[in-house]
Amino acid sequence: MENGRLIRVGKYRGDAKAVVYVVAISNPTKAIDLIRQKAASPADEVQDLGRVSAALLEALELLPGKFTRADGQRGTPPTDVSR
């Protein structure tokens, strides 16, 4: 499995209510595009915070093309974007 990306979505830089996603896509542009399409509002600022390891993706049971919130909220399954 390849590495993934850590993507932040907020109304502005420094937004204390921003949400961070772990995305199982190694390309930063593609990961941002996925979050823009599936999780962000049109006015949100979406930024790539960096790489996450393949080990983290495996621990979170994220398959390629899926993402999940990284804020500790449990009970929400990873999002399947292959539909």
In a domain, 80, yes or no: no
In a domain, 82, yes or no: no
Structure confidence at residue 1 (pLDDT):
75
Amino acid at 30: K
* Cross-strand partners of 68: 22
In a domain, 21, yes or no: yes
d(CA 24, CA 62): 6
In a domain, 83, yes or no: no
Range of the domain at 23: 4-72
d(CA 3, CA 58): 10
**Per-residue pLDDT of the chain in tens (83 residues, 90 and over written 9):** 799 999 999 999 889 999 999 999 999 999 999 999 999 999 999 999 999 999 999 999 999 999 999 986 654 555 655 54
d(CA 4, CA 81): 15
Number of domains in the chain: 1
d(CA 70, CA 57): 11
